[in-house]
Amino acid sequence: MRAWLVGELGGIDALALAAVAEAPTPGPGEATLEMIAVGLNYPDLLMLSGGYQYRPPLPFTPGMEGVGRVVAVGEGVAADLLGVRMLVGGRTGLLAERVTMPLAALRPAPETLSDSEAAGFTTGALTAHVALVVRGGLAAGERLLVLGAGGGMGLAAVAMGAALGAHVIAAASTPEKLAAARAAGASETLPLDRAAPDLSALRGSIDLVFDPVGGALVGPALSALAWGGRYLVVGFVGGQQAIPLNRILIKGVSVIGVRAGETGRQDPEAGRRHIHAIDALAEAGKLRPHIGLELPFAAAPEAFRAMQAGALVGKAVIRCDG
């Protein structure tokens, strides 16, 4: 079978499409899936050059979320799972034609989601839920500012905030991204220049900031917070930035780190509750990812380059079945 391999930490150019050994025969409590599609996330891109906090041993196959159909099951796994469309999760390993996984890494895909939407659903939705509900305590009627609102993570936060009844202000860098944010449920949109961001119109009015960008946005976003506001640190694709402690003190704000995947690893029972919550929202039609790019398996590097360029609206998905 074919899989994408990273043999050295050389960025996108180190990706190689290779013929590899067939996925292992499933053992007890395992299933083998024919992959349909894989959704890409920014950590996938960072891992290509060793820039993510988790550094898998070389060589590795990227891909942390996707959707596939069960084609074989191991001992103790019900045969009626054969042919079922399942969501697949892992830290790496999914950008392959077939994978063998423990049942704990699988769950039925919501029927409301297309194959491509299912492939790109879990990471963004789970991060948005853990950030806004668990860590941020977002309440209906509060004012939520989502930075980087045109990316896959930002659009998931916009949709989650809208589903929770918040007043969502989406900030993004292009008209296309702002349009996607409005379609996802934003109450207001704000054009944003990442190099020289201006959030002065929001000064002192925001209850909760969802920030997957960091960099030059940190200072203006802190100024936008009201007294006692909360700042969710979700990522720093725009670079890391020192946070001035005097402003945290003066405004009485809380700075909160968000790691949705680690939350589930530290507390598996809570992780299962969070997954159930996002799947229920998807089944109710309240949560679905925006797929901005869909490419065939052999074109995976092009999807990574689109992510790296920062112009992609929503999620990039690689089809494995064509």
Q: Give the separation between CA 197 and CA 228, rounded to whole angstroms.
A: 23
**Position 40: which residue type?**
L
The angle that helices 122-129 and 152-163 make with each other, rounded to 10 degrees, is 50
Buried residues in 40-78 as b, exposed as e (16+ CB within 10 A):
bbbbbbbbbeeeeeeeeeeebbbbbbbbbbbebbbeebe
Render 131-193 in DSSP notation, one character per residue: IIIIIS---TT-EEEESSTTBHHHHHHHHHHHHTT-EEEEEESSHHHHHHHHHHT-SEEEE--
Q: Do domains 2-121+289-319 and 123-261 have the same CATH topology?
A: no
CATH of domain 2-121+289-319: 3.90.180.10
Class in CATH terms, 123-261:
alpha beta
Structural domain spans, the chain: 2-121+289-319, 123-261
Cβ count within 10 A of residue 321: 13
CA pair distance 158, 171, nearest whole angstrom: 10
Summarised one tens digit per residue, pLDDT across range 224-283 is: 999 999 999 998 887 787 888 898 999 999 999 999 989 999 999 999 999 999 999 999
pLDDT digits (tens, 9 = 90+) for 56-112: 999 999 999 999 999 999 999 999 999 999 999 999 999 999 999 999 999 999 999
Structure tokens at 88: 């697949």
pTM of the predicted structure, to 2 decimals: 0.93
Confidence of residue 220 (pLDDT cuts 50, 70, 90): very high
